[in-house]
A = this chain, B = another copy of it.
Amino acid sequence: MELLLLSNSTNHGRPMFAHAAEVFEEVAAGDQVTFVPYALANWDDYADRVTAALGAFGIAVTSAHRAPEPDRAILEARVVMMGGGNTFRLLDSLDRLDVIEGLGERVRSGATRYMGASAGTNVVCPTIRTTNDMPICRPRSFDALGLVPFQINLHYVDADPTSTYMGETREERIEEFLEENDCPVLAMYEGSWLRVSGERAVMTGRARLFRRGESDTLAHGSDVSKLISETPVFDGGRRPRKGVSQGLQAPLR
């Protein structure tokens, strides 16, 4: 299995994908890339921009939405590039195309190499429960490709100690996720990526790793292969019950 999972498509002030040109060449070299544009609304514009960006590294791209049968184009691809945008819209589109199971199998078997950025990285997780995106539409399920057994949070940012913003910090949002679910969360800062090759997983750039009650900062180049053998547990958070007082409760954990 070969995965290239970027936090973001574009680094500030640089052309799309330019910060990761070498690793794109490593993964996609010599093969046609099938681009999946459905996380954004304007597929034509998005496909044109990605074709130009990867073309600058000598990588040829066709967009699935221009194929006679987009689902078949995705399922027969040698290399898939799953574009970023809104994760809810992307997952809903993949579900409507009925490619979630088939693409998962192809990538797991090594028949398809998988590259993704932002929302395109979110959907390799077991679920989309750690996306930052607005739930602008409702996919039939939050279950995603499940190519890795842990969750990823993209565009990770530290809390700004000078901020007067009173909404949750990203760290608080991930802690809320961990109240409801028991599953590591790999939080990737801008400009970073995760490269999975078989049983080996290595971070490039900065990241943090959250688990219930703990978090670690990962140095550039960290080997996180141990995450590949995790067994995540979803749900299990406490809920009120109809007709039952829960005022005298045991401590949360």
A residues apposed to B, CB below 8 Å = 8-13, 38, 41-44, 63-72, 85-86, 89, 92-93, 96-98, 118, 128-138, 141-142, 154-155, 157, 164-168, 173-174, 176-177, 179-181, 190, 235, 237-247, 249, 252
Residues of B within 8 A of A239 (CB): 38, 92-93, 96
Give the docked Cα–Cα distance between A154 and B247 (Å): 30
If over half of A's interface residues share one DSSP class (helix, strand or loop), that class is named, otherwise mixed; here it is loop
Contact of A66 with B134 at beta-carbon distance under 8 Å, contacts A86-B176, A180-B89 already known: no
Contact of A69 with B135 at beta-carbon distance under 8 Å, contacts A8-B167, A165-B157 already known: no
Q: Can you list 30 A-B contacts (CB < 8 A)?
A: A9-B166, A12-B165, A41-B180, A41-B237, A42-B252, A43-B246, A44-B247, A44-B249, A65-B245, A66-B245, A66-B247, A69-B243, A69-B245, A70-B241, A70-B244, A85-B176, A89-B180, A97-B241, A129-B136, A129-B137, A129-B138, A130-B134, A133-B173, A134-B176, A136-B177, A137-B181, A137-B237, A154-B167, A157-B165, A166-B190
Query: From A62, which residue of chain B is reached at the shortest CB distance?
Result: B247
Taking the full assembly, how many copies of this chain does it contain?
2
Give the docked Cα–Cα distance between A240 and B38 (Å): 7
Contact B137 A165 (CB under 8 A): no
Contact A12 B129 (CB under 8 A): no
A211 to chain B, nearest CB (A): 15
